[in-house]
């Protein structure tokens, strides 16, 4: 079979250089070869030729059945009519072909011509006219015999096949024909040019010859099903050339079926699109990235922020945009040259990138301007921390080709969607804020909104005052009792941090703990709390007070490999038993939930300490995942307790949490219980302890000790 197709291609190549008889002979051979290869369309039953007879003046004297079929007129309708009645309008122009042919020039063979004629139903047809003169016995002309055959297309079947073969061969596209067994039976010269495989190397093989191995099974199945006749398929496939190089190709796969409808051949047409792909990638880069630093440019930044804005509007989260102008670059370029200036910009880009998180977008706008997009920030103030980090990255001199160069920056910040809900507005306002910041000679940042500047200032003030608070003894611990819902007795207490500010009075931990978390000060605070709680427990012990365990809150930031060792050292220093101190952690720590966290928890439990999960229900809260952690107590967050027993949702959640905790055999503490109704409901649910204003607010150590001494108990009767 493939020999036959090979022969077709060879013959079509040969035909190109020929004419006249040689061409006709070659085409005949090509016909035969195509038929053998199964590629030639089955020849249609030739339409019956029509024959007409005319007298010498053009009147019809004979009308064959074929003529009736071709034109739709019966013999009765046609005979006796002038041949002009078959003419299409505009074709008569005095030149009636049948009457004006050169009899002399065509003594034997008659005349051939291709003309238009009109059928009875008005349709126009192209016909081949073959006119023969008829003679009587004496040799005088008596009439004409006109043979007509229909011209269906402008090309004969032969010409068409020849043309197709030539198109295939000359095509810029690679052609690959396989038989029903997926063996390659034919290829064209473009196939060889693109893939590097000659006919000898490819014919008889399967198309796996070109397989790159980069496509997954699902993709390959799609291509296979196209080859098995599931309709034509068009797509991009990565192929592999003979030299091992991979190349993207745009491919169309179709099948040829035999008369029984079975697939006889599959053919793939493909073009090598690697050039387009490279160009596309280059264009993409040029359109979206800054050529000097390789960072995203304004265009890409706008796209990314635009997308984030849409999401933010939906989720009501925040994002921030920082525009950063680097100072002194102009002067440096002027004195040391542009190469140094450019090198410096690249290095600044690198330093900025290093001090940002991966999800943050750093872009270079133009000249000396960069921009940073924080696509999702938990709190808007966090943008100020990022601005500080960026300024800190420029604090040390930058060395470029032995020059130690010092630059600064002015940063303007907008937060969305508060300041604007489209990218151009956000950038414009950030620019405005940056210009204001630039009124400082020193590096500085400013938010666009005054409110945010106040917040940022407040944030900075809290940070610096909190540092002093530690050294100035302004911190203290309050204790809030936990009571048993069975006995009504005090069974524990939570140590809660308090800050007595010399001017502002008592500052809530809700205000300063988040600042401490962000700035890392929480580590010092946490150490102080643990130290103070142990000191207090020891003091009570020395005063012979029987103390229930005291719970201390731990920040996720305190949770590192060294934590068990640090705690053990503090306990030991104060002579406090590990079971005297419980630790409260929040879910954010579990979400980080690496093996490392579990290992640290296990170590703490092995030391004899109990772990409680604080604010339960506000985070991930899944049973399956809670099981992994060695936690002995769950604290139901106050937000679910508030609605009890009237809010259906809160009741359902509280019930679910209690059920879950009971399955895990964990103790349950309800936080923020303020009313007797809440207490009764929780008690009936099977909750173990409560902590809340109903029993006591957090109180100073001495008051708590007094409460213990008095043996204060929770009254269960509804007040
Ligand atoms: P938390 O650990 O969930 O502490 C419970 C908070 O609920 C405390 O607020 C407590 O005063 C308050 N609370 C207790 N009962 C009631 C009630 O019946 N009604 C109302 N409205 N509130 C009640 P506080 O002391 O303001 O502490 C707030 C948060 O600050 C704590 O939440 C904890 O996450 C954090 N925190 C406090 N001290 C420390 C500490 O020493 N270290 C760490 N890392 N975080 C601490
Ligand atoms: Mg707590
Ligand atoms: Mg809590």
Q: Measured from the CB, is residue 496 less than 6 Å from ligand 1?
A: yes
Q: Is residue 44 part of a domain?
A: no
CATH of the domain at 390: 3.30.70.270
Residue ranges making up the domain that contains 680:
472-710
- Residue 27: inside a domain, yes or no? no
Contact indicator for 182, 266 with CB cutoff of 8 Å: yes
Do 398 and 351 form a contact (C-beta atoms < 8 A)?
Answer: yes
Q: Is 441 left (phi over 0), alpha (psi -120 to 50) or beta?
A: alpha
Q: How many residues does this entry show for the chain? A: 719
Atom index in ligand 1 nearest the CA of residue 552 equals 41
- Please report whether residue 31 resides in a domain: no
Nearby residues for ligand 2 (ion, Cβ within 5 Å) = 553, 584, 614
Residues 374 and 505 grouped into a single domain: no
Residue with CA closest to ligand 1 atom 7: 672
- Of ligand 1's listed atoms, the one at least distance from the Cα of 615 is 3
Judge whether 16 lies within some domain. Answer: no
Report long-range pairs for 567-572 (Cβ below 8 Å, ≥24 apart).
Answer: 567/530, 567/604, 567/607, 567/609, 568/607, 570/530, 570/531, 570/534, 571/534
Q: How far is the CA of 494 from the centre of ligand 3 (A)?
A: 10
**How far is it, in rounded angstroms, from Cα 351 to Cα 187?**
55
Tell me, in angstroms, the distance from the centre of ligand 2 to residue 495's CA.
8
13 in a structural domain:
no
- How many domains does the chain fold into? 4
Whole-number pLDDT of residue 116: 81
Considering the domain architecture, whether residues 542 and 668 belong to the same structural domain is answered as yes
Is residue 110 left, alpha or beta, with left meaning phi > 0 and alpha meaning psi from -120 to 50?
left
Ligand 3 centroid distance, CA of 599 (Å):
24
Q: How far is CA 600 from CA 595, 609, 622, in A?
A: 9, 12, 21
> CA quadruple 274, 275, 276, 282: dihedral positive or negative?
positive
Q: Which ligand has its closest atom nearest to the C-alpha of 482?
A: 1
Q: Is residue 471 within 6 Å of ligand 1 at its C-beta?
A: no
Distance 496 CA to ligand 1 centre (A): 6
Residue pair 103/16 in contact by the 8 Å Cβ criterion: no
pLDDT by 10-residue block (mean), the chain, 719 residues:
57 58 63 56 50 88 91 92 81 58 51 81 84 84 86 64 77 88 90 93 92 84 83 86 90 85 87 82 82 92 91 83 94 90 95 94 93 89 91 94 93 92 92 90 89 83 91 95 96 97 92 87 95 97 95 92 96 97 87 77 96 83 76 92 90 87 89 95 95 97 96 78
* Minimal-distance CA residue to ligand 1 atom 42: 553
Cβ(158) to ligand 1 under 6 A? no
**Which mutation among 519, 523, 550, 553 tests ligand 1's pocket best, with the greatest number of atoms within 8 A of CB?**
553
Q: What spacing in Å lies between the alpha carbon of 671 and ligand 3's midpoint?
A: 6
Cβ(12) – ligand 1 distance below 6 Å: no
Say yes or no: 122 and 214 in one domain: no
Pair 115, 244 in one domain: no
Ligand 1 within 6 A of 555 CB? yes
Q: Are 61 and 143 in contact (CB under 8 A)?
A: yes
Q: In this structure, are 570 and 686 located in the same domain?
A: yes
Pocket perturbation via mutation, ligand 1, pick of 481, 492, 513 by most ligand atoms within 8 A of CB: 513
Which of 466, 475, 509 has most ligand 1 atoms within 8 Å of CB, for mutation? 509
My answer on whether 398 and 486 are in the same domain is no
**Residue 565 C-alpha to ligand 2 middle, in angstroms?**
22
Distance CA 164, CA 8 (A): 11
Between CA 541 and CA 521 the distance in angstroms is 30
Q: How is the beta sheet containing 361-364 ordered, strand by strand?
A: 361-364, 369-377, 318-327, 408-416, 444-447
Tell whether ligand 1 has an atom less than 6 A from the beta carbon of residue 692. yes
Query: Hey, whose CA ends up nearest to atom 23 of ligand 1?
Result: 672
Q: Look-up: residue for tokens 């962000």?
A: 518
Whether residues 70 and 107 share a domain: the answer is yes
Name the closest-CA residue to atom 46, ligand 1: 553
Question: Which ligand 1 atom sits closest to the C-alpha of 586?
Answer: 34
CA distance 420 to 429: 8
Tell me the C-alpha distance between 552 and 571, whole Å: 13
In a domain, residue 30? The reply is no
CB of 514 closer than 6 angstroms to any ligand 1 atom = no
Do residue 249 and residue 358 come from a single domain? no
- Can you tell me which atom of ligand 1 is nearest the CA of 496? 38
Do 64 and 102 touch, CB atoms closer than 8 A? no
pLDDT given for residue 105 in this prediction: 43
Evaluate whether 354 touches 280 at the Cβ level (below 8 Å): no
Q: What is the pLDDT of residue 459?
A: 83
Tell me, in angstroms, the distance from the centre of ligand 2 to residue 464's CA. 25
Same domain, 522 and 642: yes
- For atom 11 of ligand 1, the residue with the nearest CA is 698
Q: Is residue 22 part of a domain?
A: no
Closest CA to 672 of 440, 529, 496: 496
Atom of ligand 1 nearest to the CA of 637: 3
Q: How remote is the CA of residue 386 from the centroid of ligand 2, in Å? A: 29
**pLDDT at site 200:** 93
**Is there an atom of ligand 1 within 6 Å of 187 CB?**
no
Are both 323 and 238 inside the same structural domain? no
DSSP SS3 for 484? strand
Q: Which ligand is nearest the CA of 495, by number? A: 1
Nearest-CA residue for atom 19 of ligand 1? 672
Domain end, chosen from 99, 120, 150, is at: 150
Q: Is the CB of 372 under 6 A from ligand 1?
A: no
Give the nearest ligand 1 atom to 554 CA: 44
Report the CATH number at residue 235: 3.30.450.20
Same domain for 380 and 405, yes or no, is yes
Are the C-beta atoms of 131 and 144 separated by less than 8 Å? Answer: yes
Q: What is the residue with the minimal CA distance to atom 43 of ligand 1?
A: 553
CA of 614 to the centre of ligand 2 (A): 5
Is 222 a member of any domain?
Answer: yes
Identify whether residues 311 and 430 lie together within a single domain.
yes
- Among 599, 660, 573, 592, smallest CA distance to 624 is for 660
Q: Specify the ligand 1 atom closest to the Cα of 691.
A: 15
Residue 436 and residue 108: Cα distance in Å, rounded?
A: 104
CA of 613 to the centre of ligand 3 (A): 9
């Amino acid at each position: 079979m493939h020999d036959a197709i090979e022969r077709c291609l060879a013959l079509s190549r040969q035909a190109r250089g020929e004419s006249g008889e040689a061409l006709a002979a070659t085409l005949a051979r090509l016909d035969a070869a195509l038929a053998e290869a199964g590629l030639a369309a089955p020849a249609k039953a030739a339409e019956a030729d029509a024959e007409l007879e005319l007298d010498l003046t053009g009147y019809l004297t004979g009308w064959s059945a074929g003529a009736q079929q071709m034109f739709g007129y019966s013999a009765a309708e046609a005979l006796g009519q002038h041949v002009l009645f078959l003419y299409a309008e505009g074709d008569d122009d005095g030149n009636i072909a049948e009457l004006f042919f050169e009899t002399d020039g065509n003594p034997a063979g008659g005349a051939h011509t291709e003309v238009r004629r009109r059928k009875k139903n008005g349709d126009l047809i192209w016909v081949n006219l073959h006119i023969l003169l008829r003679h009587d016995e004496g040799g005088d002309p008596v009439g004409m015999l006109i043979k007509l055959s229909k011209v269906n297309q402008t090309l004969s079947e032969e010409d068409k096949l020849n043309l197709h073969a030539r198109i295939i061969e000359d095509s810029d596209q690679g052609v690959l024909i396989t038989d029903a067994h997926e063996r390659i039976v034919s290829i064209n010269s473009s196939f060889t040019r693109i893939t590097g495989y000659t006919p000898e190397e490819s014919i008889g093989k399967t198309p796996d010859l070109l397989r790159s191995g980069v496509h997954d099974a699902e993709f390959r199945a799609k291509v296979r099903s196209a080859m098995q006749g599931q309709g034509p398929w068009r797509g991009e496939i990565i192929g592999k050339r003979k030299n091992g190089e991979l190349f993207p190709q745009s491919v169309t796969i179709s099948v040829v079926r035999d008369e029984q409808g079975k697939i006889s051949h599959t053919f793939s047409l493909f073009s090598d699109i690697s050039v387009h792909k490279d160009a596309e990638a280059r264009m993409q880069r040029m359109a979206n990235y800054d050529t000097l630093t390789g960072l995203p440019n304004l265009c890409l930044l706008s796209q990314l922020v635009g997308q984030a804005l849409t999401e933010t509007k939906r989720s009501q989260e925040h994002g921030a945009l920082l525009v950063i102008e680097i100072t002194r670059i102009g002067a440096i370029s002027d004195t040391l040259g542009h190469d140094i200036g450019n090198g410096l910009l690249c290095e600044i880009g690198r330093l900025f990138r290093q001090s940002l998180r991966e999800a943050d977008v750093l872009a270079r706008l133009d000249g000396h301007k960069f921009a940073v997009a924080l696509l999702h920030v938990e709190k808007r103030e966090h943008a100020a921390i990022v601005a500080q980090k960026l300024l800190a990255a420029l604090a040390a001199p930058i060395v470029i080709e032995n020059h130690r160069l010092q630059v600064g920056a002015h940063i303007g910040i907008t937060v969305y969607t508060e300041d604007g809900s489209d990218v151009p507005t956000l950038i414009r306002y950030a620019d405005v804020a940056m210009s204001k910041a630039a009124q400082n000679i020193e590096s500085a940042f400013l938010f666009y909104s005054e409110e945010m500047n106040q917040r940022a200032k407040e944030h900075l003030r809290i940070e610096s005052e909190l540092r002093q608070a530690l050294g100035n003894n302004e911190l203290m611990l309050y204790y809030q009792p936990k009571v048993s819902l069975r006995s009504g007795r005090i069974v524990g207490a939570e140590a809660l941090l308090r800050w007595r500010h010399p001017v502002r009075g008592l500052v809530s931990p809700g205000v300063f703990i988040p600042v401490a978390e962000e700035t890392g000060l929480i580590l010092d605070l946490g150490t102080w709390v643990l130290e103070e709680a142990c000191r207090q427990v020891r003091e009570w012990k020395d005063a012979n007070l029987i103390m229930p365990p005291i719970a201390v809150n731990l920040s996720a930031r305190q949770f590192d490999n060294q934590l068990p060792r640090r705690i053990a050292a503090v306990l030991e220093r104060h002579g406090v038993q590990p079971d005297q101190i419980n630790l409260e952690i929040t879910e954010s720590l579990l979400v980080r939930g690496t093996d490392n966290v579990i290992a640290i928890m296990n170590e703490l439990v092995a030391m004899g300490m109990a772990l409680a999960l604080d604010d339960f229900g506000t985070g991930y809260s899944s049973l399956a995942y809670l099981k992994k952690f060695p936690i002995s107590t769950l604290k139901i967050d106050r937000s679910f307790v508030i609605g009890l027993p009237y809010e259906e949702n809160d009741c359902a959640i509280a019930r679910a949490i209690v059920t879950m905790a009971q399955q895990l055999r964990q103790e349950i503490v309800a936080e923020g219980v303020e009313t007797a109704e809440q207490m009764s409901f929780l008690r009936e649910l099977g909750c173990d302890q409560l902590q809340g204003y109903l029993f006591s607010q957090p109180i100073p150590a001495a008051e708590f000790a007094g409460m213990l001494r008095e043996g204060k108990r929770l009254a269960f009767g509804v007040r």
